[in-house]
Every structure is written in C-alpha cells, then in structure tokens.
Chain A
C-alpha cells in the first residue's frame, strides 16, 4: 500500500517535471552569469551565482515596461466590456421569450466555428475601413464578443428560479434592475471564472494584435517577447529572462485563482 502510494507520487512528480521543466530551463538560463554556459552536456542548470543582469537587460533593451503596461490596458478594457456585453445578451436569452431568440443564440454560437485564420483578413479590412487599424480600439473591439461567455452566462441565468424573476416583474421592477440586482449577483462565480479566463486569453493574445498593429509602441507583451526573440543578437539569457518575466503576471493570477479556474472549467464542461 505504502509502496503503491510512493509509486503514485513518483509518477505524478515525473509528469509534473515534464510540464514545468521547460519553464525551469528558461528560468535557469535567464539567471545564469555570462561566464556560465547556457547549454552543455550534461546540463548545468544551477546558476552560479544567479544574477539579475539579464532581467535588467531584457527590461531595457526593448520597451518592456511599455508592453506590460499595454497588456494591462488591453485586459482592463476588454475583460469588463466582455463581461457586460455577454451578461446583457445572456439575460434575455435565458429569461425572456421573444421572436428570434433561437436565431440570435445560434448566430452567436456559430462564431465558434469561424477559424481565426479565415477571419483574419476580412476582419483586418473591416477594421481598416473603420479607421481602427493600428489603434487600441482595433485590437480590443473584435475581442469583446465571446460565444463561450454568452453560453456560460445563459446557463447560469437560466438556473435562477423563474418565480424570483416573475415576482420582481410583478412588483414593477424594471428589467435593468432585475438584471443588476438579481441576475448579476446570482452569476458571481461564473463571472469570476470568465474574468480569469478573459484575463489569460487577452494577456496571451498574439495573432490579432500582430495583424492589426504596425506601431510597436502599442504591442501587448506576447508580441513584445516575439519581437525580442526576432532581434538578431539577442542573448539567449536575455531572451529567457524576458520570456519568464512576460508570464509572471498570468502565472501569479492563475496560482491565486487556480481553484476557481479548475473548478470553473469543470462547471463549464458540465454546463
């Protein structure tokens, strides 16, 4: 029994190492002093001594703080907008009867089957026609509508007992008040999950900003890292340090919220 238990943990740890290992290799490379080889047989992973030179170099050789700040702005605008738009749309879909309800729902669900590469070109043209190419608005607006968010919130709102909603309506409550005081509080856990997933996806967004932005001063951090990687002559240690730095915020948020994320994913699958 104890042997079996030990075997389980050895297996779990070995697999964990496979998932975390590449990040540890980056971390090790980013902290190594310049006299210590990054690659060697056998691997020499402990930095002797660990130095912050490369972190500083990555931070200053490209406008790193600027890219981090840009990503913060993209998240700060996109995520709340995405929550509000999704919730507003999900409420009537869940709790009202009206002509075209199914049509609207299926139209929105169908967006999940539009491959990103297909939408890239025409969406870029639409954004250009709206004079939003190379702007923050051009990066943000197309990312607000999410079938996933509307789908999940519709499920949640549909779970609010009909009697509560009807009682509020008979009392003469305005729909907007029901939405605000009954629906949103009931959906708090779902909103939290969507906010975390939204944060992760906006922080990591790459392809769309790559297409829409020409001015590198507006790059989100993922593009900034790709830019750093593309500069010939970037030291492998500096690239490693910059890459680690770029994922710190999202990893920290995930670690703090991991319970919600993992529970939420299960809720989403069951929903």
Chain B
C-alpha cells in the first residue's frame, strides 16, 4: 500500500513523528548518545578529575594482561552455567507442577512469584540470614548429616559463587516458571490424555510431549538466562562485594568497581564493550541454534 493511502484528513505527514517524539528524544539522549560515548571512552584514559587523554588500544591490551579481568570473565561464565539448571530446567518442572488444576493453585503460583517482585537488596539481606554460620541452611545440612561443620558460605572462596548463583536463581525462578506456564497452556490436554491411554507414564509424557512442544519457550528462557546472568550485580554488591579473594568478582561487578571505585572510566568502558559484544554474540548464537523459534522479542 502506498504511503499516502491511509493518510486521512487531520493526519499530516509529521503526525506519526510527533507521537513518537518523546520516545525518540529519550532514546537519543539516554541510549544512543551514551552508546556512542561508551565506544569513545574505551579508547581514552579518563579519571573524571583531569581531562581525558587518548589511549589508543591501551585499555584493550591492558585487559589481556589483567588477571582480575580474566578471573571476572571466568566467574561470569561459571555464573551463567550455574544459573542454567535453576532458570531453564527447574522452572519448567515447576510450571508443570503449577499447571495442575487443583484448588488453591493460584496461591501457590503467587508465593513462587513473590521473590520476583521484591528488591534484590532485600533478597540479598534475607539470604545472609539463611547463610549465617548458625543459620537455617547450616542447621538443616548438619541435622541431615550432610555437613560435619557449619560453613560460612559467603566468606568461603569455594562456596561464595555457588551461594550467589543460588540466590539469583531463587529470585528469578518464578518469572521463568510463568513464561513456561504460558507455553504449557497452549498444549492441548487431549495430547496428554491420548498418551495416557497408550500407557505413557509421567516421565515419558514430559520427555515426548512437553519438552518438544516447549522448545521455543526453552529457547527464550535460555537467551534470557544468559543475558540476566551476565548482568548480575546487586546480589554481589549486597552480599560479597566481589570477595572473598575475588571469588565472586564477575565482569559486571568489575566494570562497576573500576568505574565508580577507581575512576578508571576508559578501562571500565573497554571492558563494558567486551561484555556487550559477548552478550550480543550469545543472543545471536542462540537465535541461530534455535533457528528463530523464539516467540518473545
């Protein structure tokens, strides 16, 4: 249809642009301009106090030799791997569980969703009580004989990262569950009934019906899980500050710390660009692998 065909009286050529104008201004000022600035900053030395100087590729070569950068990258990847079962696999099982039509199921869904609506700060504080040396977790594990000695999870270089993964995963699980629930409700129940008649057990129905039909939703959850994990920050800020011994120093936290604790804006921006490229790369890769089955933008 030609452009003019739907232009009615009262609509001038600039009308659509006027409607979009506030959004476009905000896009320009708070997204496009900063994005360009981020790229500029990455080739500068800038400590906020003195004027910026040109750094060439310094910030990027520095990264190659910076052990903390590699450590933070490794931690981010470990974070991402650790979150996979918590946000891609378990929520699917939860969704199957809360998709049953039993009285009161809405209340359970709401309770599972509760951590999603509370702030990460509050969640971090709450879990510090759970992880306490004399806290509930240590008590349960020792009572069941799984531990001899209580562990100080957040002060232990081995346990701190898994502990944070658990907290972040726990907080978002309900959100992913709802994504899957939306998908499950598109599957006709007749499929399951037919399978039952054929004598298929619960596990077979899950593997042969649920998982294949849920593939697009699993792809979406996976993409979101990757983007979420790479951006984890607040839990680390509240609970460990990247410690102990950099055990929970993720790329996102290192960037923040370089910029706002050490005022190395150029270096932090260069690392930010690496994070950016990684995230886009992962999203594109995932899209390719799933052949664009994703249903959510």
Chain A interfacial positions (CB closer than 8 Å to B): 5, 8-9, 11-12, 15-16, 18-23, 25-26, 29, 38-43, 84-86, 88-89, 91-93, 96-99, 101, 104, 107-109, 111-123, 125-126, 130, 141-142, 144-145, 150-151, 166, 169-170, 172-175, 179, 200, 203-204, 206-207, 210-211, 221-223, 225-226, 229, 236, 239-240, 243-244, 246-247, 250-251, 254-255, 258-259, 261-262, 265-266, 268-271
A117 and B114 contact, CB distance less than 8 A: no
Q: Is B293 an interface residue (CB 8 A)?
A: no
> Is residue B60 within 8 Å, beta carbon to beta carbon, of the partner chain?
no
Give the distance in Å from the alpha carbon of A25 to the alpha carbon of B139 in the complex. Answer: 13
Contacts of A120 in B (CB 8 A): 255-256, 259-260, 272
Is B273 on the interface with A (CB-CB < 8 A)?
yes
Query: Contacting B238 at CB < 8 Å: which of A12, A22, A229, A261?
Result: A229
Within 8 A of A (CB), among B215-260: 217, 220, 227, 230-231, 233-234, 237-238, 251-252, 255-256, 259-260
Give the residue of A42, A122, A225 whose beta carbon is less than 8 angstroms from that of B139: A42
- Besides A117-B272, A120-B272, A244-B122, 14 other CB < 8 A contacts? A22-B127, A23-B118, A38-B129, A92-B16, A97-B1, A107-B32, A117-B252, A118-B269, A126-B33, A144-B26, A225-B125, A247-B118, A250-B119, A255-B110
Tell which of A18, A151, A262 touches B113, judged by Cβ atoms closer than 8 Å.
A262
Residue of B6, B15, B233 near A207 (CB, 8 A) is B233
Task: Tell me if B142 counts as interface (CB < 8 A to partner A).
Answer: yes
- Chain B residues 67 to 108 lying within 8 A of chain A, measured CB to CB, are 94, 97-98, 100, 102, 105-106, 108
Judge whether B231 and A117 touch: CB under 8 Å: yes
Known contacts A16-B108, A114-B31, A225-B119, A269 near B179 by CB under 8 Å: yes
CB distance from A86 to the nearest CB of B (A): 7
Q: Contacts A226-B121, A240-B129; is A122 near B134 (CB within 8 Å)?
A: no
Give chain B residues whose Cβ lies under 8 Å from the Cβ of A15: 94, 97, 108, 112
How many angstroms between the C-alpha atoms of A99 and B14 in the bound complex?
10
As a 0/1 sequence over residues 109 to 150 of chain B, the CB contacts with chain A under 8 angstroms (1 = contact) are: 111111101111111011101101111101100110000000
Interface residues of B in 19-51 (CB under 8 A from A): 19-24, 26-27, 29-38, 41
Q: How far is the CB of A8 from chain B (nearest CB, A)?
A: 6
Bound complex: CA A5 to CA B100 (Å)? 11
Q: Given known contacts A16-B111, A43-B139, A269-B183, is B15 in contact with A96 (CB within 8 Å)?
A: yes
16 of the cross-chain contacts (CB-CB < 8 Å) are A22-B123, A22-B127, A38-B129, A41-B134, A41-B138, A96-B15, A117-B233, A117-B272, A121-B41, A121-B272, A126-B34, A145-B26, A203-B119, A239-B125, A243-B126, A270-B186
Instruction: Say whether B231 contacts A115, CB under 8 Å.
Output: yes
Check if A89 sits within 8 Å of B183, measured CB to CB. Answer: no
- The reply on B178 being an interface residue by CB < 8 A is yes
Residues of A within 8 A of B182 (CB): 265-266, 269-270
The chain B residues found within 8 Å of chain A, CB to CB, are 1, 3, 5-6, 8-11, 13, 15-17, 19-24, 26-27, 29-38, 41, 94, 97-98, 100, 102, 105-106, 108-115, 117-123, 125-127, 129-130, 132-136, 138-139, 142-143, 170, 173-175, 178-179, 181-183, 185-186, 217, 220, 227, 230-231, 233-234, 237-238, 251-252, 255-256, 259-260, 265, 268-269, 272-273, 275-276, 279-280, 283, 295-297
Q: Which chain A residue lies CB-closest to B38?
A: A122
